[in-house]
Amino acid sequence: MKGAMKSRDALLLNTIRSLISEIKNQEIDKKKELDDETIVSIVASQIKKRKESIALFDKGNRGDLSAKEQQEIEILEKYLPEQVSTDELRKRVREVVDELAAKSPGDLGKVMKKLIPEFQGRADNKLIKDLVSESLGT
């Protein structure tokens, strides 16, 4: 945050401030200091909110606001662990589907239950769901 203040980068500073504010609010709500895993999930949820905003701004022909949200996403992604490649994720999805003998779309939940904790913060849950659905042939 100090670096953003010194460089007078308003977008970076506002993004970091909003993230810190959300983390502090969660700490107050839970009445304890948050662990790294929870903080990563907060960062991921902030990214998700911005992606939803981008979709709405694009729908409303507000490219300027959409671009600002995209820049904030790029800033927030720096605070996430290294993301897993789609190919690596696809391979792991196939392994879990085979391991659980999942065959139908009804098995989606049990496959997701195993994969989500494994890739928490390292892959987008929507991408995981899409790959599982693809693997189950839905």
Q: How far apart are CA 106 and CA 86, in angstroms?
A: 23
- CATH 1.10.10.410 region(s) of the chain? 86-136
**Top-confidence residue, 92 or 9:** 92
Tokens representing 72 are 């904030």
Q: How far apart are CA 111 and CA 57, in angstroms?
A: 34
CATH topology of domain 2-77: Hypothetical Protein Yqey; Chain: A; domain1 (1.10.1510)
Give the chain's mean pLDDT: 86
Q: How far apart are CA 90 and CA 88, in angstroms?
A: 5
pLDDT digits 0-9 by tens, 39-97: 888 888 898 899 999 999 999 999 889 999 999 999 898 888 888 888 888 898 888 88
DSSP symbols for 18-42: HHHHHHHHHHHHHTSPPPHHHHHHH
Question: ∠84-126-27 over CA atoms, to 5°?
Answer: 80
Question: ∠37-77-55 over CA atoms, to 5°?
Answer: 110
What's the whole-model pTM score? 0.71
- CATH code of the domain made up of 86-136: 1.10.10.410
- CATH 1.10.1510.10 region(s) of the chain? 2-77
